[in-house]
Amino acid sequence: MADIKNTNSSPKNQDYQTRGFRRATGLLAAMVLFTLFAQNLHEGTSNFWVSTLVPVALIVSYPILFFKPLKRIVDTPYFATLSLLCIAVGTALGTFVSQNAPAEVFTNRYGESGSSVLRFLQWDDVFHSWWYVGFFTLLAGSLLKTSWKKKFNRENLGFHLAHLSPIIILLGFWVDYFYGFRGIIQLETGQSTNIAKVYQGNTSYVGDSIAIPFRIRLDHFEFEKHDPDYRLQVWRNTEAEPHAQPAADAHGQQITGTPKIIASMPLKEAKIRHIYGTDIYFRLNEFFPNFTFEYTYPEINDNVEAKDPGVLLNMKTPFGQADVNLFSNRPGRNTIADEQHMGGWLEFYWEIPEALAQAINGQPETEWAKVNRIILVGTEKQIYLWVDGKLSKEPLEAGKFYPFPNRKEIGFTMKYLYPDAAYLLSTPVSDGEELLNPVAKVEVWHKGGHSEEAFLYPGGRRGGVFTIEGTDYFLALESFKDMETKYYRSELSVLDENDEVAKSQSIVVNEPMLYGGYRFYQSDYNPDNPNYSGIGISHEPGLYVIYFGFTVLVIGCLMMFYGKYRKQDSPV
């Protein structure tokens, strides 16, 4: 390419140029027609002669027909430029219609007749169509001829590199097209295989299977999400969709419509925030990474009337510890009847229950005696154990650990035994700094109005949010970050024909394993199956040729545009 813009436009020259343009267009159009007929014949019939020889004859006759003009046309600037534009248009066409889709998907999308027309034009697979490849072939011819005509010297080095490198890239590409493949190996931990499913064309539609000369074993797979990052969020309910299911917040208020997040703030205590367009302000008063209540019972005389007696127990299970209150006079709140997990029931009564009294007298109800029970009696400060049909009792001591019948790892410690829960003080605290049960205590107020306190906790629309009365806004405590994948990694082993490990490597996205001319990529996982890993496989013999072409192209352009020895740009 010359850097000087030629402005010769005499009528004679114009005429020559017009002819040059017509010839180039004619040549390219004829190529499209020839290849379209050839490819449709090739694909459309099973007759060997018709499907192979006629297309070959068509393809061969095309350049012969144009032999002389071809030689003259391909190195004209018109031809090179038009070829570039034709490839651009062809590529654009390929983005307007689904490519390589399975037949039924394609017909569904474009209808019977629509898809036949598209198929005839090879529009269902533009990038492998003969006409599309034809453009590249002609462009390659044009590049070769143009370069050939230009003198090989230091001044033109950039020009030659820039114009020959696309041919190198195309060669690498074609080598890969004919001798390479891409696919996927789906394995679970411990499994090994030498079979890969091959991708159809350049899509992820799976086609045939292929065997590789060694086996790949998945030794280990791991997958991690990002750490949670809880933030205070302002959401707004937009117009309700006609069929949206109403949900309720923690206070039973209905939330309708599709909520939209408006703002998200880091958990900075005491900083006053404002909701735009309103007179509403709020601030975070306290954040509890692992929210729990700390209970205290005042040291008062035992002569307090037993209005709402209860017991505060610290329950210990393999999953952790928690404070639990049982209230004698509140039905449903005086028993933990989880025999399956705890091996028995835990019950609290302030006065001795009748059924127990009968059992002590040796006449237990059969139904009642079926289950292992731990019965705490407040007035007596006694604990009755009913295990395997036998009754025992011992005094209840604060601070002593009582395991469940036959379950050493589950049990309870009594903290307080009290005649009236009204005197029980509960203070929200955080049990450690680990993010186990995050809760945010916020304060919300209208400008100049009274403030309201609310506890926010994660869990989406079904609770834990705070709806600001009289507005569409609600506050939430959520983390989005931990919904995203941080990494996934497979440890692979290559097994040779004797089942011996030839290579072991761990792969992550962007760090594939190379073995025997094949590359293995971390490309898929299944959040529901922690043992599954999708290993992408590719075999691309032309890859380094392509990389070489890339480098030469950039160097060539650089030399041509800014090189020391190039012809200097002249002003027009």
Sites for other proteins among residues 225-264 (CB under 8 A): 226, 231, 233, 261-264
The correct pick among 52, 81, 258, 321 for binding other proteins (CB under 8 A) is 81
Strand 280-288, strand 439-446: pairing: antiparallel
The footprint of other proteins on residues 261-320 (CB under 8 A) is: 261-264, 276-277
The correct pick among 340, 498, 510, 568 for binding other proteins (CB under 8 A) is 510
In the complex, least distance from residue 80 CB atom to other proteins, rounded to whole angstroms: 5
Q: How is residue 410 written in tokens?
A: 């589950």
Which range, of 95-103, 185-193, 411-419, 450-458, touches other proteins by CB under 8 A? 95-103
Which range, of 349-357, 383-391, 448-456, 519-527, touches other proteins by CB under 8 A? 519-527
The footprint of other proteins on residues 419-438 (CB under 8 A) is: none
Q: What residue type is assigned to position 17 of the chain?
A: Q
* Helix, strand, coil share of the chain (percent; to 5): 35, 35, 30
In the complex, least distance from residue 461 CB atom to other proteins, rounded to whole angstroms: 17
**Nearest Cα residue to 137 out of 21, 261, 38:** 38
* 11 near other proteins (CB under 8 A): no
Q: What residue type is assigned to position 481 of the chain?
A: K
Instruction: Confirm if 219 and 531 have CB atoms less than 8 A apart.
Output: no
The footprint of other proteins on residues 61-80 (CB under 8 A) is: 77-78, 80
Nearer to other proteins by C-beta: 61 or 485?
A: 485
Nearer to other proteins by C-beta: 467 or 522?
A: 522
Which range, of 55-63, 97-105, 402-410, 454-462, touches other proteins by CB under 8 A? 97-105
Whole-number Å distance between alpha carbons of 82 and 22: 11
Site string for other proteins, 126-145 (x = CB under 8 A): -x------------------
Q: Identify the three-state secondary structure at position 222.
A: strand
Site string for other proteins, 155-194 (x = CB under 8 A): ------------------x--------x------------
For the beta sheet containing 451-456, the strands, ordered from the edge strand earlier in sequence to the opposite edge, are 272-274, 280-288, 439-446, 451-456
Nearer to other proteins by C-beta: 82 or 417?
A: 82
Query: Can you say how many angstroms the Cα of residue 475 is from the centroid of all Cα atoms in its chain?
Result: 27
The correct pick among 92, 240, 244, 501 for binding other proteins (CB under 8 A) is 92
Look up residue 269 and give its DSSP letter: B
In the complex, least distance from residue 6 CB atom to other proteins, rounded to whole angstroms: 4
* 148 near other proteins (CB under 8 A): no
Whole-number Å distance between alpha carbons of 265 and 437: 19
The correct pick among 22, 71, 486, 567 for binding other proteins (CB under 8 A) is 486
Nearer to other proteins by C-beta: 195 or 508?
A: 508
Nearer to other proteins by C-beta: 341 or 567?
A: 567
The footprint of other proteins on residues 541-560 (CB under 8 A) is: 543, 546-547, 550, 553-554, 557-558
The footprint of other proteins on residues 349-408 (CB under 8 A) is: none
Query: Can you say how many angstroms the Cα of residue 331 is from the centroid of all Cα atoms in its chain?
Result: 47
In the complex, least distance from residue 567 CB atom to other proteins, rounded to whole angstroms: 13
Whole-number Å distance between alpha carbons of 183 and 535: 9
- CA 332, 338, 342, 347 dihedral sign is positive
Strand 382-387, strand 390-395: pairing: antiparallel
The correct pick among 485, 504, 529, 531 for binding other proteins (CB under 8 A) is 485
Instruction: Confirm if 9 and 15 have CB atoms less than 8 A apart.
Output: no
Whole-number Å distance between alpha carbons of 531 and 534: 10
Whole-number Å distance between alpha carbons of 264 and 475: 10
* 117 near other proteins (CB under 8 A): no
Look up residue 124 and give its DSSP letter: G
- How many residues touch other proteins under the rule CB under 8 A: the total is 76
Nearer to other proteins by C-beta: 430 or 538?
A: 538
Query: Can you say how many angstroms the Cα of residue 255 is from the centroid of all Cα atoms in its chain?
Result: 28
For the beta sheet containing 231-237, the strands, ordered from the edge strand earlier in sequence to the opposite edge, are 259-265, 231-237, 473-478, 466-467
In the complex, least distance from residue 176 CB atom to other proteins, rounded to whole angstroms: 9
Instruction: Confirm if 482 and 228 have CB atoms less than 8 A apart.
Output: yes
Q: How is residue 249 written in tokens?
A: 């917040």
The correct pick among 87, 133, 210, 436 for binding other proteins (CB under 8 A) is 87
Strand 344-349, strand 373-377: pairing: parallel
* 108 near other proteins (CB under 8 A): no
**Ramachandran angles phi, psi of 540, nearest 5°:** -130, 90
The correct pick among 179, 401, 487, 565 for binding other proteins (CB under 8 A) is 487
Nearer to other proteins by C-beta: 430 or 523?
A: 523
The correct pick among 67, 179, 401, 561 for binding other proteins (CB under 8 A) is 561
Which range, of 186-194, 250-258, 422-430, 535-543, touches other proteins by CB under 8 A? 535-543
